[in-house]
Amino acid sequence: MMRFSSNHFLFVIFFVVTLICTQNVHASEVVVYSARIEQLIKPMFDAFTKETGIKVRYTTDNEGALLARLQAEGKNTPADMLITVDAGNLWAASKAGLLKSVKSDVLENNIPLHLRDPNNEWFGLSVRARTIVYNTRKVEPRELSTYEDLADEKWHKRLCLRSSKKVYNQSLVAMMIAEHGEAETEKIIKGWVTNLATDPLPDDTKALEYVAAGKCDVTLVNTYYFGRLMSKDSNLPLAIFWPNQHGSGVHVNISGAGITRYGRNEKAAIQLLEYLSSAKAQNLFADLNMEYPANPTIKPDRFVATWGDFRQNPLNLIKAGELQTTAVKLMDRAGYK
Amino acid sequence: MAIWRFIPFTTAVTVLLPVVVVFSSFWVPTDDVWRHLVETTLLTLIINTAWLAFGVVIGTAILGVSLAWLTSVYEFPGRAFFSWALLLPLATPAYVTAFVALGLFDFTGPIQTSLRVWLDSDLSWFPDIRNRFGVIMILTLAFYPYVYLLARNAFMSQGRRSLEVAQSLGLNRRQGFFKVALPMARPWIASGIMLVLMETLADFGTVAVFNYDTFTTAIYKAWFSMFSLDAASQLASLLIILVFAVIVLEQQSRLKMQYAENKKSHRANRILLCGWKKWLVCGLVFVTLFAAFFLPIMQLSIWAIQSVTANFDFLRFGEFLWNSLILSFLAVLLVCLMAVVMVYVARRFSTTSIRYAIRIATIGYALPGTVLAIGIYMPMVWFDGKLNEWISYWIEIENGQLLQGTLITMLIAYLIRFMAVSYYPIDGAMQRVTRNIDEAALTFGVHGWAMISKVHFPILKPGIFTAATLVFIDVMKEMPITLMTRPFGWDTLAIRIFSLTSEGQWEQAALPAVTLVLAGLVPIIVFMRQTEH
Domain boundaries, chain B: 14-261+274-531
Helix (H, G, I), strand (E, B) or coil at B207: helix
Nearest-CA distance from B98 to chain A in Å?
A: 11
Average pLDDT over residues B355-382: 84
The mean pLDDT of A266-274, rounded to a whole number, is 96
Q: What pLDDT does residue B318 have?
A: 93
pLDDT value at A93 more than 90? yes
Q: Which range (A14-23, A50-59, A282-291, B242-251) has the least confidence? A: A14-23
Kindly list the distances between the CA atom of residue B152 and the CA atoms of A191, B149, B528, in Å, as whole numbers in the listed order.
Answer: 54, 5, 11
Predicted model pTM:
0.90
Phi, psi of A124 (to 5 degrees): -70, 140
* Residues on chain A touching B373 (C-beta within 8 angstroms): 65
ipTM of the shown complex: 0.89
Kindly determine whether residue A167 and residue B225, on different chains, have CB atoms separated by under 8 Å.
yes
Whether B255 has a pLDDT exceeding 80, the answer reads no
Q: What pLDDT is attached to residue A25?
A: 46
- Count how many residues are written for chain A: 337
In this prediction, residue B260 carries a pLDDT of 54
Rounded to a whole number of angstroms, the distance between the first and last alpha carbons of chain B is: 38
Residues in chain B: 533
Residue of A nearest to B497 (CA): A37
Which of chain A's residues have a Cβ under 8 Å away from the Cβ of B102? 202, 206
Which of the residue ranges B51-55, B133-137, B344-348, B426-430 would you say has the lowest mean pLDDT? B344-348
* B489 to A57: CB separation less than 8 angstroms, yes or no: yes
Enumerate the domain spans of chain A. 27-127+253-302, 128-251+320-333
Distance from CA of B251 to the nearest CA of A (A): 31
Is there a contact between B484 and A69 if contact means CB atoms under 8 Å apart? yes
Query: Do B225 and A328 count as a contact with CB atoms less than 8 A apart?
Result: yes
Q: How far is A55 from chain B (nearest CA, A)?
A: 13
- Provide the 8-state DSSP code for A52: H
A15 lies within 8 A of chain B by CB: no
Over residues B167-178, mean pLDDT: 83
Domain A27-127+253-302 has CATH 3.40.190.10: yes
> Which pLDDT tens digit goes with each residue over A305-321?
999 999 999 999 999 99
- A103-112, B417-426, B502-511, B517-526: which has the highest mean pLDDT? A103-112
Name the percent of chain B lying above pLDDT 70: 92
A5, A22, A208, A262: which to substitute to probe chain B, counting the most B Cβ within 10 Å?
A22
To the nearest whole percent, how much of chain A has pLDDT over 70? 92
B34 → chain A, closest CA residue: A329
Which residues from B are below 8 Å from A75, CB to CB? Answer: 400
| Residue A286 in this model has a pLDDT that exceeds 90 | yes
pLDDT at B266 over 70: no
Query: Which of B485, B509, B480 lies closest to B497, judged by CA?
Result: B509
Q: Among A27-41, A42-56, A147-161, which stretch is predicted with the lowest mean pLDDT?
A: A27-41
What pLDDT was estimated at residue B367? 86
- Confidence at residue A15, expressed as pLDDT on a 0 to 100 scale: 57
Q: Are the beta carbons of A165 and B406 separated by less than 8 Å?
A: no
The residue-averaged pLDDT of B496-509 equals 86
What is the average pLDDT across B96-123? Answer: 86
Q: What local confidence, expressed as pLDDT, does residue B163 receive?
A: 78
Residue range B511-519: average pLDDT?
92
* CATH assignment, B14-261+274-531: 1.10.3720.10
Binding-face residues of A in 160-199 toward B, CB within 8 A: 163, 165, 167, 170, 198-199
Residue range B350-378: average pLDDT? 81
Q: What is the pLDDT of residue A320?
A: 96
pLDDT at B437 over 60: yes
Q: Which chain B residues contact residue A162 at CB under 8 A?
A: none
- The pLDDT assigned to A27 comes to 58
Per the DSSP assignment, residues forming a β-bridge with A60 are A34
Domains A27-127+253-302 and A128-251+320-333 alike in fold: yes
Q: What angle do CA A217, A222, A226 make, to 5 degrees?
A: 65
**What angle is formed at CA A242 by the lines to CA A207 and CA A282, rounded to 5 degrees?**
90
Q: What percent of chain B has pLDDT above 90?
A: 38
In the predicted model, is pLDDT for residue A2 greater than 70? no
| Contact indicator for A320, A87 with CB cutoff of 8 Å | yes
Minimal Cα–Cα distance from B408 to chain A, Å?
A: 7
* Interval A131-183: pLDDT, tens: 999 999 999 999 999 999 999 999 999 999 999 999 999 999 999 999 999 99
Selected from 3.50.50.60, 3.40.50.12780, 3.30.1370.10, 3.40.190.10, the CATH number assigned to the domain covering A128-251+320-333 reads 3.40.190.10
Nearest CA in chain A to B210: A202
pLDDT band at A12 (very low <50, low <70, confident <90, very high): low
CB–CB of A59/A34 below 8 Å? Answer: yes
Mean pLDDT of chain B: 86
Higher-pLDDT residue of B533, B24: B24
Closest approach of chain A CAs to the CA of B281, in angstroms? Answer: 37
Interface residue A37 vs chain B (CB under 8 A): yes
pLDDT at A200 over 60: yes
Q: Which among B384, B400, B406 has CB closest to A21?
A: B406
Query: A81-84 and A159-160: which strand pairing?
Result: unpaired
Distance (Å, whole) CA B512 – CA B496: 7
Which residue of A lies nearest to B326 if distances are taken between CA atoms? A17
Average pLDDT score over residue span B30-51: 91
User: Chain B contact for A60, CB < 8 A?
Assistant: yes
Q: What are the φ and ψ backbone dihedral angles of A119, each rounded to 5 degrees?
A: -95, 10
CA angle B201, B206, B210 (to 5 degrees): 115
> Using 50, 70 and 90 to split pLDDT, how confident is the model at A4?
very low
Least confident range from A35-44, B56-65, B198-207, B447-456: namely B447-456
Q: Do A76 and B385 touch (CB under 8 A)?
A: yes
In this prediction, residue A181 carries a pLDDT of 97
- The predicted pLDDT at position A24 comes to 46
Average pLDDT of the segment spanning B218-225: 92
User: Secondary structure of chain A: what % helix, strand, coil (to 5)?
Assistant: 50, 20, 35
Rounded to whole angstroms, how far apart are CA atoms A94 and A153?
Answer: 40
Query: Per residue in A171-195, pLDDT tens?
Result: 999 999 999 999 999 999 999 999 9
